[in-house]
């Protein structure tokens, strides 16, 4: 159950079958039976295009936060398919840090944000930040809550802390940029948008904000 010369080809076979039947369960069973996470990481970093796509897809379902750096690097892969899969996968592993109870709390906070109960989300995220300050996504979640409560300075601080812990957290860079922009600090906003795009070049909404902001700064006397 590990890498052999034919292993990449076998993984690609599993992936191509998944593309046909869309049976994620079968793909994951086959992959987990034959591959260690470390092997998938190596294929994600250095395999052929189809193997990289398959490995990144599998890592998003089978790996935990320890695969964050591999998936973060895949965000800038030469292949757009790999980049798209990596963006989805890395968001999943961000939720797989800490104890099982802490991971459930990350999910619960995300639900509060989705329901737009930002005050409740800020409280829950704040408690998790105090308990487990190494969980970058908890800082980000509180930053999102503060952003939506128009507490932009607090949002900037929390998103900055998320990036200090997890340098691949492009969502934190994007929110920090928006918070700076709404606070009137356009130069800092520009820097944050550029940082977000360096991490994840596929953020088209952030690219549009960046272009518009550059035009605004050029037009300023």
User: Global pTM?
Assistant: 0.94
Judgement on whether residues 162 and 108 belong to the same structural domain of the protein: yes
Judgement on whether residues 182 and 213 belong to the same structural domain of the protein: yes
Percentage of the residues of the chain whose pLDDT score is greater than 70: 97
Judgement on whether residues 209 and 116 belong to the same structural domain of the protein: yes
Q: Domain boundary at 77, 93, 109, which?
A: 93
- For residue range 126-178, list pLDDT tens digits in order: 999 999 999 999 999 999 999 999 999 999 999 999 999 999 999 999 999 99
Judgement on whether residues 39 and 61 belong to the same structural domain of the protein: yes
Q: Domain boundary at 72, 93, 114, which?
A: 93
Q: What is the pLDDT of residue 6?
A: 67
Q: What is the pLDDT of residue 4?
A: 47
Which CATH number goes with the domain that contains 56?
A: 1.25.10
Q: How far is CA 106 from each of CA 87, 127, 139, rounded to the nearest angstrom?
A: 18, 11, 10
- Quick one: angle between helices 100-114 and 136-148, nearest 10? 20
pLDDT range class, residue 218, cuts 50, 70, 90: confident
Judgement on whether residues 74 and 106 belong to the same structural domain of the protein: no
Specify if 190 maps to a domain. Answer: yes
- For residue range 7-52, list pLDDT tens digits in order: 799 999 999 999 999 999 999 999 999 999 999 999 999 999 999 9
Q: Which helix (H) or strand (E) holds 199?
A: helix 186-199
Judgement on whether residues 56 and 81 belong to the same structural domain of the protein: yes
Judgement on whether residues 175 and 215 belong to the same structural domain of the protein: yes
Q: Is the pLDDT of residue 3 over 60?
A: no
Q: Domain boundary at 66, 93, 120, which?
A: 93
Domain that holds residue 70: 7-93
Judgement on whether residues 206 and 126 belong to the same structural domain of the protein: yes
Percentage of the residues of the chain whose pLDDT score is greater than 90: 95
Q: Which of 49, 47, 48, 15 is nearest to 31 (CA)?
A: 15
Q: What is the pLDDT of residue 7?
A: 73
Judgement on whether residues 109 and 30 belong to the same structural domain of the protein: no
Specify if 1 maps to a domain. Answer: no
Specify if 202 maps to a domain. Answer: yes
Judgement on whether residues 32 and 107 belong to the same structural domain of the protein: no
Q: Is the pLDDT of residue 102 over 50?
A: yes
Q: Is the pLDDT of residue 90 over 80?
A: yes
Q: Cβ(109)–Cβ(97) under 8 Å?
A: no
Q: Which of 94, 186, 78, 72 is nearest to 140 (CA)?
A: 94
Which CATH number goes with the domain that contains 110?
A: 1.25.40.10
Mean pLDDT of the chain: 95
Considering its fold, how many domains does the chain have in total? 2
Judgement on whether residues 85 and 186 belong to the same structural domain of the protein: no
CA 65 – CA 122 distance, rounded (Å): 23
Average pLDDT rounded to a whole number, residues 96-107: 97
Specify if 168 maps to a domain. Answer: yes
Judgement on whether residues 80 and 134 belong to the same structural domain of the protein: no
């Amino acid at each position: 159950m590990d890498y052999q010369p034919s292993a990449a080809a076998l993984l690609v076979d599993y992936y191509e079958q998944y593309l046909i039947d869309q049976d994620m369960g079968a793909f994951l069973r086959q992959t987990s039976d034959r591959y260690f996470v470390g092997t998938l990481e190596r294929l994600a970093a250095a395999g052929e295009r189809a193997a990289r796509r398959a490995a990144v897809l599998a890592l998003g379902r089978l790996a935990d936060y320890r695969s964050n750096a591999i998936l973060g690097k895949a965000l800038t892969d030469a292949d757009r398919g790999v980049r798209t899969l990596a963006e989805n996968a890395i968001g999943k592993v961000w939720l797989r840090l800490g104890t099982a109870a802490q991971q459930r709390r990350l999910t619960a906070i995300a639900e509060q944000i989705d329901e737009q109960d930002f005050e409740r989300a800020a409280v829950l995220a704040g408690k998790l930040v105090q308990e487990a300050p190494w969980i970058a996504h908890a800082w980000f979640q509180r930053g999102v809550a503060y952003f939506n409560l128009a507490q932009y300075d607090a949002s900037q601080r929390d998103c900055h802390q998320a990036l200090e812990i997890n340098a691949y957290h492009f969502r934190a860079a994007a929110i920090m940029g928006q918070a700076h922009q709404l606070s009137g600090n356009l130069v800092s906003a520009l820097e944050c948008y550029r940082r977000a795009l360096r991490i994840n070049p596929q953020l088209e909404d952030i690219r549009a904000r960046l272009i518009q902001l550059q035009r605004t700064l050029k037009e300023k006397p």
